[in-house]
Structure 1
């Protein structure tokens, strides 16, 4: 496997990695178009790098390589930073597939979850996802993709969610506008 070049190039050049990223991890590295024309309010560059099955898009913000903020825009008009770089965003997507649901569950509980509770919550959400999608070996797929992309070892479930919260704090600096100039809601 090629460990040189950008992470995005490695993902796109390895057919098996692209296949795993797309399913089961819902990050299709073949970017097409977002559901509508969008731009950053700051005027900074916005590079489409992937899609999910629900019509959402992933973008690198600003100029430079892989390690610039990754913004996710859903198809319903919400957007936010999901990683301070592509490595972090992919680790989140691969290591905590149901991270958004987990953060919502924790917020509704009105308290922080400890490491064990966070791991159990994510395991439960991923088991449900695996069953709904007919996945046979999510852990094996995860390990293979992490190896192919050179992303390991993955941080703990709690650390991944903490990184997601930290990245989302950057969102006010990365306001996404639709073609009429209206801002997307925060994720």
Structure 2
């Protein structure tokens, strides 16, 4: 005795329904995985994927997609429509943009040799991320501590991740200054001139920049004979060319001039708020 035609239609319906569900599971999984993974999915690619999922789209899959059978009932065609949830998810999902500064910070955090050379001779230690006091910026922009030095000072990134964030240096005595426009510039200056603080102070007054740098270099070599080799290795690992002393001083001064008023931090103490002074 043969199978009842009604039962055959029900079985065929269920097979088709399972194929449709599996198809969209694969589609949504692929798109979401690409959105949150290393490879960014462009809006054009998302539109192309969505178009391929439509049973009436010219770019729809043929033999590989269950959504191409023209004889399906209206109910089955409704099953083939891309789910609203997935489309809404694709519209809302955004992969944060990785800036050069973000990439450099991640490289420092994952490269012990680089991190060690930044500790010395750079005096830039990513393990020192506890400021001596809680600070905020007048603008309300986020402050993210990323490193500290042996004196108790802290380096901060100013702004939200995924944007170009200036680097702020706040010492333990209530003074602060912007060091650079972003982390790449800051680390380059720190690696090339670990005594960069001295290039902002009165030591330059009445003296040529080159002469002052030469004197500071001699002091470093006298105290630490292996300084030239360590500095050269640090610059090599970073893959940067050190700026000239004149260029370094110009950059430091330009950043310092931008500190007031928006980037001069405010200490939030129990007795009230106190503004830092310019370093």
Which TM-score band applies after superposition, normalised by the shorter structure?
0.7 to 0.9
Q: TM-score, normalised by structure 1?
A: 0.86
Cα distance change on mapping 1:168 and 1:142 into 2, 3 Å: same
C-alpha displacement of 1:65: 4.1
2:229 matches 1:140: yes
Indicate the residue corresponding to 2:142 in structure 1. 45
**What is the rounded CA distance, in whole Å, between the counterparts of 2:264 and 2:163 in structure 1?**
20
1:118 alignment partner in structure 2: 209
1:128 to 216, 219, 224: 219
Instruction: Indicate yes or no: 2:161 matched with 1:161.
Output: no
Question: Unaligned regions of 5+ residues in structure 1, if any?
Answer: none
Distance between the aligned counterparts of 1:98 and 1:142, measured in 2?
Answer: 12
**Greater relative CO, 1 or 2 (CA 8 Å, sep 6+):** 1
Pairs aligned (count): 174
SS in 1 for 2:186: helix
Cα shift at 1:12: 1.4
1:72 aligns to 2:72 (yes or no)? no
Between the aligned partners of 1:66 and 1:129, the Cα distance in structure 2 is 36
Q: 1:24 aligns with which of 116, 121, 128?
A: 121
**Structure number having the greater helix percentage:** 2
If you compute each CA radius of gyration, which structure gives the higher value, 1 or 2? 2
- Root-mean-square deviation (CA, aligned residues, Å) is 1.8
Gaps of 5+ in 2: 1-99
Against the structure 1 CA distance between its residues 154 and 27, is the aligned structure 2 distance closer, same or farther, given a 3 Å change threshold? same
Q: Answer yes or no: is 1:34 the counterpart of 2:131.
A: yes
Is the CA contact 2:128–2:149 (under 8 Å) kept in the aligned structure 1? no
